Amino acid sequence: MAEDPHNSISQTLNDAPLGLFHFRAVVTAGTGFFTDAYDLFIIGAALVLIKQQWHPSSSLIGWIGSSALIAAFVGALVFGRLADLLGRKKIYGVEALLMVIGSILSAVSPNMGWLLVARFIMGIGIGGDYPVSAVLMSEYANTKDRGKLVSLVFSMQALGLVAGPIVALTLLASGLNSTWSWRIMLGLGAIPALAVISLRRKLPESPRYMAQVKGQAKKAARHLRAIGGLEVVNITDDIQSHGTLKTFLTDPRYMRLLLGTAGSWFLFDYAYYGNSISLPWVLKALAPHSSTVTAMAWSLIIFTLAALPGYILSFAMIDRIGHRRLQIVGFLMMGLSFTAIGLIPGLTTMAMPFLLLFGVSYFFAEFGPNTTTFVLAAELYPTYVRTTGHGISAGVAKIGAFIGVFVFPLLTQRLGLHGTLLLTGVFSLSGLLLTTILPEPAGRSLEEMAEPIPKKVTQR
């Protein structure tokens, strides 16, 4: 990159070409999201076996399936705020440790109460991973490729989605006792979480945070030189004005952004998590006489053929299409798919037509709001409250996920599968409407998105 005597920390990052340090950050942050996805979605398969062993009530099944999600609300809010107050690096890795502890405790659970607590501990770590990983990647990224890089982090979730059914199928096909099978399913989540703890502790602090919030531009410049070979000619940067949390939460502009990012994410997670975690039961409702292995196999097929391509296309195309625009398209296609399933008579009893439309909804969930809600919340807020804004959005979203998972079995009993998915379509189309109030950040720097425009301050 040609030297520019007016370069600042943010300008250097915004103009930097893609480099090894970008992809190192993607792998470090993304491995955590592999773990998040595996831990959140494997419980659906595990509960099929747990039901056979302990015969819990439908209500208790709902609590076990959704406890990690309500805990993620707590984790996202707490870790999101702490990352703005103390720094991203200081807490990065702590949330992964909670995932390790939660996974191990889940695997050795002697009863449903123990499992409930273990999943709650794990959920706090998962929730904390959202704002810190997303924001660190967005703050490392250049303007041109920011959507791609943050999407790549989140797209590691796809591997976790595929890994869950593969593990479940392997254990079930092996003839292993069902009690050991579900314990191994839940315990395996500790392995990738352990792997990333040391990596995350070695990742440097966000240079933008150091320069814009802590006023440590010289130290940030040294980090840029060390991690990416990037030179800052004039060690200056924008010191952003620091309001209080109360100011942030009462500012009309930021309240509007929160309504857009948190509201649309809430509506999406209601639709997505209820269907995904309950997918084995959805498939059993479609074909009541099919075996558990058959249901798991269909889950793997849907994830592989529909979800995985959606993830890949999302990070490949997001910066071309636009972050906000891609979210609108995804919500629209999800809403139309679920509405068709709910309104077309008898569709929920016809395997292939149902799976086709259900697969379309999954594709556009990934090639749309499942990725973009994560990205938008990481780039629309100023640096001093960026993880706070993302944490609030992710936390509110997990409330939606909790409600979706908890009520899905109950709604299916009352409304039938077609009625439940019709309601899901309404939530999806509502998410589209909330997305329209957000600005389009594609092609704009993080500093352009922040208001008010900060003043230049030279560090002496």
Query: What is the DSSP code (8-state) at residue 238?
Result: E
Q: What is the mean pLDDT of the chain?
A: 87
pLDDT tens digits for 132-191? 999 999 999 999 999 999 999 999 988 887 888 889 888 888 888 888 999 999 999 999
* Residues 6 or more apart in contact with residue 64 via CB below 8 angstroms: 43, 47, 50, 56, 112, 115, 116, 119
| Tokens of residue 251, six digits | 């500012």
Specify the 3-state DSSP secondary structure of 235.
Answer: coil
pLDDT at residue 69, rounded to an integer: 87
What is the percent of the chain with per-residue pLDDT over 90, rounded to a whole number? 49
pLDDT at residue 304, rounded to an integer: 83
pLDDT at residue 55, rounded to an integer: 85
Q: What is the mean pLDDT of residues 294-310?
A: 80
| Residues 447, 143 contacting (CB under 8 angstroms) | no
pLDDT at residue 312, rounded to an integer: 93
- Is this prediction's pTM over 0.75? yes
Q: Which residue has the higher pLDDT, 459 or 429?
A: 429
Model confidence band, residue 3 (pLDDT cutoffs 50, 70, 90)? very low
Alpha-carbon gap, residue 419 to 424, rounded angstroms: 9
Which of 273-302 are b and which e, b meaning 16 or more Cβ less than 10 Å from the residue's Cβ?
A: bbbbbbbbbbbbbbeeeeebeebbbbbbeb
Q: Which residue has the higher pLDDT, 123 or 307?
A: 123
Alpha-carbon gap, residue 231 to 228, rounded angstroms: 9
| Topology at the third CATH level for domain 9-458 | Growth Hormone; Chain: A; (1.20.1250)
pLDDT at 457 over 80: no
Q: What is the mean pLDDT of residues 117-125?
A: 95
pLDDT at 102 over 50: yes
pLDDT at residue 234, rounded to an integer: 65
Q: What is the mean pLDDT of residues 252-269?
A: 96
Nearest CA to 75 out of 134, 26, 117, 132 is that of 132
Q: Which residue has the higher pLDDT, 291 or 200?
A: 200
